[in-house]
């Protein structure tokens, strides 16, 4: 081996060693110790339960655009101040307001029986009580095949299957089609209204609410009602007995014009790079049927408590940690789009964004969508989180949560702390989404994972952009 | 040993042997084989599910005294004929009819929030919507201490604890006091109305209905509303924050005067002792909120299917097997009292009575209240049932089911095939009592146990009276 070659090899090894050092130890021992201590503190803290208890009890249900959501914003600012955030403010936006009104839906033939239903978001009201025969469709595909005008004077019922329960909530997207676009086919068929089997994995007698999709810029001009899975089972059984079905329907839910909503923004200002923002959050609004404990009081509690525990450290992390309590998520990610627009000029300063919006069961996986160098940082974080039962997932997983979509679309890097969603769609958008459904130990595990990982990213110099 | 003594000893031994024979083998091998075969057939049969599916689907909810309950009686007679019973008839009686009307109950201060409530059976209506402050009572004992007139202009809320879940349903009796007699104290206090934490072991947002107790011959003259456990939790938390609570209440449920109800009586006439009756049954009425699958469509299905399987044997058992579908059980055992009165003259011919009215989970224990000789027969039956996971319980256990109470009080012997009631009070009297809650395999186990034990008792010569 010639000297020249040896020197070249030495230089290569040296570069390699530096890279190895940089990639194998993107975190200092002190940082690792702080993260581990944060996890321990989080597991012992009651702060998360206190936050979600306060939100659901003192504010209650808080539909996007409602007076209750406005009270929740004031609550959020007050909470941020009390927990030691450096900055706590509301960023307002304007939105169209759909409000639930009274509903009565009942089977009237072959006999009288109340049905447990709820209007879907965006539905039109009935002018008065309507009574009409049901035309049964086994699933959304059957409804999609309906001929124009074939449903005149009728109410369509689109059945479907009970949503499969899974850790990832995988069945939701498909099941959700009947809720999202069913009305477009029913309306095209000339139906007086549409009744939809609830999108949910439970067999309780609760209807699941949720927003419908617009057709271009148009909302439904017919009433659309989701009924509970047991009610849908009941109609299916009667239909399978060749029993003609008639229902009566009176729904007063409707659009009410423009109102104010807003995002609550809480900042822990970074000690070295205050302009660089690590954004976490949940959504402050809820559907109106429950008190929004699981969706998404839990996400608000998890991310706020995690940041509040970091706020108690002797020194702020290098970067700014921002908790956003997004407004009006359920009704179309309106707070998320408002945030991305209002912060358009400095989105490049958002080094990372992630949201907790999948309930309160434990986190089982960490996924990311950052550059390869930063991926090694996330790998290191995953090792630190592993005592919480969290495994490392894909490093090319897009996402970050519903309210992160508009930011991610503009290039903001994301991670996901994926929660076990096995029971999430039992409760999702129903009256049953209440505080008692949250297991305090599981909530604390979430906070531990957020506190450790967000601290480490905020105290790092690693650039995460792909 | 003298001859005389020897003869006496021989006679004694002879008597002893006969007794031993009688007590150790009260059942023939042929009878045992038939019973075991019935069990096997029952476990493979779908008849029970077909019956409860038909009742809940084709009739739906069937409140005692309603038009739906009348349709259920016709259904019961028709079913009995189709299943090969020798006699199928309705025995009518008259009853006072309490009917649920519209209800709206909401928290109005500190903010507006709908509550999930239901009027309790026997409650008076509000004249119009009332809005009043809540006076909170931690439990029924606190309410019982209220001074006369101390609640004028107020609505009382009686809280309590979540009912303990247990195999035996042991917590029901005590928890039920606030539902049964709470109104008497609230009314004495001068309250405008009473709100009660639901008596149930679930944390779902369903209120549990149920009948209140009369005070002498008087029903409540105030509205009484049960709210779901999560709603009660919510009010408790707000109360514990020293938040003054106001609710609005409008309830139209009320007494409607006398109507007709009836019991359906299906007989398999005994081949040797037709006048001796082994009575089994369930109740045909249900609360109106669910479709009465678990309470007590299951009991109807279990006992009717068990008898129908016996009806397919080549020969009728010696004694008559009678299935009674009792009317108006939920609203005060009205069918049971009517039956005991209408059959007063021949109750001595009722050799045994038992009812299935504790849901559809598996039977785990056989108890009895018959004479010592007959106890040995029941012991033998328990051995035959043991492959079903059924153990022998007390032989001095009174009971036999709610509708058996009036008969048992007149000396009719009873057994109990005790079901696992662990989940029963999650569903009991709620909208959630629907067909999907029944596990077909568990229902079949019940039918197997009833078919075998009732066949053996009906084909026996053993006198059961204590």
Q: Yes or no: say if A270 and A458 are a contact pair by the CB < 8 Å rule.
A: yes
Whether B312 shows a pLDDT value over 70: the answer reads: yes
Give the gap in angstroms from C-alpha A382 to the nearest C-alpha of chain B. Answer: 35
Domain boundaries, chain B: 25-94+258-458, 102-256
CB distance A237–B71 less than 8 Å? no
- Mean pLDDT of the A104-126 span: 98
Residue A239's closest chain B neighbor by CA? B57
Nearest to A351 by CA among A402, A275, A300: A275
**Rounded-to-integer distance, Cα A365 and Cα B96, Å:** 61
- Mean pLDDT of the A400-429 span: 97
Whether B17 shows a pLDDT value over 80: the answer reads: no
- Mean pLDDT of the B81-103 span: 98
Judging by DSSP bridges, how do beta strands A193-197 and B113-114 pair with one another?
unpaired
Reported CATH class of domain A26-94+257-458: alpha beta
**Rounded-to-integer distance, Cα B344 and Cα B351, Å:** 14
CB distance A233–B434 less than 8 Å? yes
CB distance B111–A434 less than 8 Å? no
Residue A238's closest chain B neighbor by CA? B57
Q: Of B53, B205, B234, which has the smallest distance from its Cβ to A432's Cβ?
A: B205
The DSSP output letter for A215 is B
Picking from A205, A240, A290, A438 by the largest number of B CB atoms within 10 A of its own CB, the best residue to mutate is A205
Contact list in B for residue A203 (CB cut-off 8 A) is 434, 436-437
CB distance B230–A432 less than 8 Å? yes
CB distance A435–B206 less than 8 Å? no
CB pairs under 8 A between A and B: 87
Homologous superfamily (CATH) of B25-94+258-458 is: Zn peptidases (3.40.630.10)
Give pLDDT, residue B25: 72
CA B53-A227-B52 angle, 5° bins: 10
Q: Of A56, A107, A230, which has the smallest distance from its Cβ to B434's Cβ?
A: A230
CB distance A230–B204 less than 8 Å? no
Give pLDDT, residue B24: 54
Contact list in B for residue A434 (CB cut-off 8 A) is 203, 205, 230, 233-234
| Proportion of chain A above pLDDT 70, given as a percent | 95
- Cβ of residue A431 closer than 8 Å to a chain B Cβ: yes
Contact list in B for residue A110 (CB cut-off 8 A) is 58
Give the gap in angstroms from C-alpha B172 to the nearest C-alpha of chain A. Answer: 21
Picking from A74, A162, A230 by the largest number of B CB atoms within 10 A of its own CB, the best residue to mutate is A230
**Rounded-to-integer distance, Cα A156 and Cα A187, Å:** 9
φ/ψ (deg, to 5) at B391: -105, 160
- Residue A93: beta bridge partners? A261
Q: Which pLDDT tens digit goes with each residue over B353-394?
A: 999 999 999 999 999 999 999 999 999 999 999 999 999 999
Q: Of A57, A107, A206, which has the smallest distance from its Cβ to B234's Cβ?
A: A57
Reported ipTM: the value is 0.91
Q: Of A107, A111, A431, which has the smallest distance from its Cβ to B205's Cβ?
A: A431
Residue A237's closest chain B neighbor by CA? B57
Q: Which pLDDT tens digit goes with each residue over A202-222?
A: 999 999 999 999 999 999 999
Give pLDDT, residue B26: 87
Nearest to B140 by CA among B174, B165, B171: B174
A44-47: long-range pairs with CB below 8 Å, 24+? A44/A444, A45/A305, A45/A309, A45/A444, A45/A447, A46/A440, A47/A305, A47/A308, A47/A309, A47/A447
Residue B241's closest chain A neighbor by CA? A58
Give pLDDT, residue B197: 98
Picking from B57, B197, B245 by the largest number of A CB atoms within 10 A of its own CB, the best residue to mutate is B57
Structurally, at CATH architecture level, domain B102-256 sits in: 3-Layer(bba) Sandwich (3.50)
Mean pLDDT of chain A, nearest integer: 95
Q: Yes or no: say if A234 and B290 are a contact pair by the CB < 8 Å rule.
A: no
Give the fold, CATH level 3, of A101-252.
Glucose Oxidase; domain 1 (3.50.30)
Q: Of B60, B111, B229, which has the smallest distance from its Cβ to A111's Cβ?
A: B60
CB distance A436–B205 less than 8 Å? no
Whether A13 shows a pLDDT value over 80: the answer reads: no
**Rounded-to-integer distance, Cα B133 and Cα B235, Å:** 12
Domains A26-94+257-458 and A101-252 share a fold: no
- Cβ of residue A54 closer than 8 Å to a chain B Cβ: no
Q: Which pLDDT tens digit goes with each residue over A373-407?
A: 999 999 999 999 999 999 999 999 998 999 999 99
């Amino acid at each position: 081996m010639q000297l020249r070659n040896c020197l070249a090899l030495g230089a290569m090894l040296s570069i390699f060693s530096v890279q190895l050092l940089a990639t194998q130890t993107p975190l200092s021992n002190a940082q690792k110790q702080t993260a581990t201590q944060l996890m321990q503190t989080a597991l012992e803290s009651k702060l998360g339960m206190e936050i979600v208890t306060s939100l659901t009890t003192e504010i209650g249900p808080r539909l996007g655009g409602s007076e209750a959501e406005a009270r929740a914003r004031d609550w959020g600012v007050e909470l941020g101040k009390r927990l030691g955030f450096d900055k706590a403010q509301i960023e307002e936006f304007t939105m169209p307001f759909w409000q639930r009104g009274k509903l009565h839906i009942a089977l009237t033939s072959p006999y009288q029986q109340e049905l447990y239903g709820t209007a879907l978001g965006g539905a039109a009201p009935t002018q008065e009580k309507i009574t009409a025969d049901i035309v049964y469709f086994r699933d959304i595909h059957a409804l999609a095949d309906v001929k124009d005008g074939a449903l005149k004077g009728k109410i369509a019922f689109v059945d479907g299957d009970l949503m499969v329960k899974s850790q990832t909530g995988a069945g939701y997207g498909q099941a959700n089609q009947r809720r999202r676009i069913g009305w477009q086919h029913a309306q095209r068929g000339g139906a007086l209204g549409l009744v939809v089997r609830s999108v949910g994995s439970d067999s309780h007698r609760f209807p699941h609410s949720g927003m419908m999709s617009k057709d271009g810029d148009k909302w439904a001009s017919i009433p659309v009602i989701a009924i509970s899975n047991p009610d849908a089972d009941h109609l299916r059984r009667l239909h399978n007995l060749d029993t003609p079905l008639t229902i009566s329907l009176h729904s007063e839910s409707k659009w009410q014009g423009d109102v104010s909503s807003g995002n609550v923004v809480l900042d822990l200002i970074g000690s070295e790079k205050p302009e660089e923002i690590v954004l976490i959050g949940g959504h402050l609004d809820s559907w109106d049927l429950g008190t929004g404990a699981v969706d998404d009081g839990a996400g608000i509690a998890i991310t706020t408590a995690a940041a509040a525990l970091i706020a108690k450290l002797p020194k702020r992390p290098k970067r700014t940690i921002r908790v956003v309590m997004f407004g009006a998520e359920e009704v179309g990610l309106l707070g998320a789009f408002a945030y991305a627009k209002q912060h358009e000029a400095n989105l490049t300063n958002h080094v990372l964004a992630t949201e907790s919006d999948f309930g309160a069961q434990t986190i089982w996986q960490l996924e990311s969508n950052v550059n390869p160098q930063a991926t090694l940082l996330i790998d290191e974080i995953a090792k630190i989180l592993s005592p919480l039962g969290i495994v490392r997932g894909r490093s090319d997983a897009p996402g970050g949560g519903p309210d992160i979509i508009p930011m991610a679309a503009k290039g903001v890097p994301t991670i996901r702390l994926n929660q076990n969603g096995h029971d999430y769609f039992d409760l999702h958008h129903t009256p049953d989404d209440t505080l008692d459904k949250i297991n305090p130990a599981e909530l604390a595990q979430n906070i531990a994972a957020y506190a450790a990982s967000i601290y480490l990213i905020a105290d790092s110099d690693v650039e995460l952009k792909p």
